[in-house]
Amino acid sequence: MKEYGGKELRKKGKKELDKISALPMKQRLQYIWDYYWLWIIGIGFFLIFGIWFVWRSTTAIRENWIGIVFPNAMTEVGNGSQLWEEYLEHTGYDIKEKNVLFEDKLYFDPTTASGMNNSYYQAFVAMIETGQADAVTMRREEIEALGKSGRLIDLSSEPCRELYVKYRDRLVYSIPYDTEYSTDPVPIGIDVSDSILMTKYHIYENSCVFSIGSYTRNLEACTEFLDWILEGKSGSVAQKILEAETETEAG
């Protein structure tokens, strides 16, 4: 059985070169294209792809300053929204260095089994479990249901001690499915119903709870975000909006 080795390839290459060397340039190019067009396209594609792949892998922004998901949000609070811009202005985060991800296009109901049986919930789980999303805000009963899964951080745990003490009068509890972990209610959220998320952006009705994902890598940024929304340290963008609203009302 005849197989190609390096020697065979060289021999074939030489034979082909001999064949085309006598031809004028135009016919030579025509011959190469006619017989090797697939190889030219294939190698060209892989070369371009390889260069792009290396460039992208080395220059892409992989990390997040913070990633927050706002499932079932009633107003636009995703990337590019006023809330997002205001937050960037407040923190001074450079998004060329790391991303700030606000995702508001997820819709599911964790209070019922059927409400979680959709792609939005699976996308949410993937985002939380991979650490792409550091925190989540939802209505109180939704967070209580979500907290049972163990995907939200236990605020009484050591890394969250500061938060636990600072916001102990706002804690929201949930009994986990994992009875080995605890049979008592575990603090998994902080009630932020009186924060700018509700008072200014009206993203939910009735209640709003902020929770941190168990797999977060940006606990400090989550704490800062929480302080910011609760203490209303809104930046100049928010100030302008509020001033405009006040003027309109007065007018």
Partner 1 sequence: MIESAQTKDRIRRVLKHVFLIIMAFIMIVPFAWMILTALKTNQEAISVNPFYIFPHNGWHWENFGTVWKSYNFVVLYKNTLLMIFFRVLCAVLTATMAGYAFGRLKFRGKNILFALVLIQMMVPGQIFIIPQFLMVSKLGMLNTTFGLVFPGLVTAFGTYLLKIGYEGLPKELEEAASIDGCNVFQRFSRILMPLTKSSMVSLGIFTAVFAFKDLMWPMIVCTNADTTTLSAGLAKMQGQYGSDYPAMMAAATLAVVPMVVIYVIFQKQFVEGIATSGGKL
* Interaction site with partner 1 (CB under 8 A): 1-4, 53, 56-62, 73, 76, 79, 101, 103-105, 107, 119-120, 122-123, 126-127, 129-130, 132
Nearest CB to partner 1, comparing residues 85 and 227:
85
- How buried is 43 (Cβ within 10 angstroms: 0-12 exposed, 13-18 middle, 19+ buried)? exposed
Nearest CB to partner 1, comparing residues 26 and 56:
56
Min dist. Cβ of residue 137 to partner 1 (A): 15
Min dist. Cβ of residue 2 to partner 1 (A): 5
Min dist. Cβ of residue 120 to partner 1 (A): 7
Nearest CB to partner 1, comparing residues 15 and 56:
56
What burial letters (b/e) apply to 68-99, b meaning 16+ CB within 10 Å?
bbbbbbebbbbbebebbebbbebbebeeeebb
Tokens standing for residue 233: 């340290």
In sequence order, the 6+-apart residues with CB closer than 8 A to the CB of 223 are 162, 163
Min dist. Cβ of residue 52 to partner 1 (A): 8
Nearest CB to partner 1, comparing residues 72 and 211:
72
Q: Which amino acid is at 136?
A: V
Q: Are strands 99-103 and 64-69 parallel, antiparallel or unpaired?
A: parallel
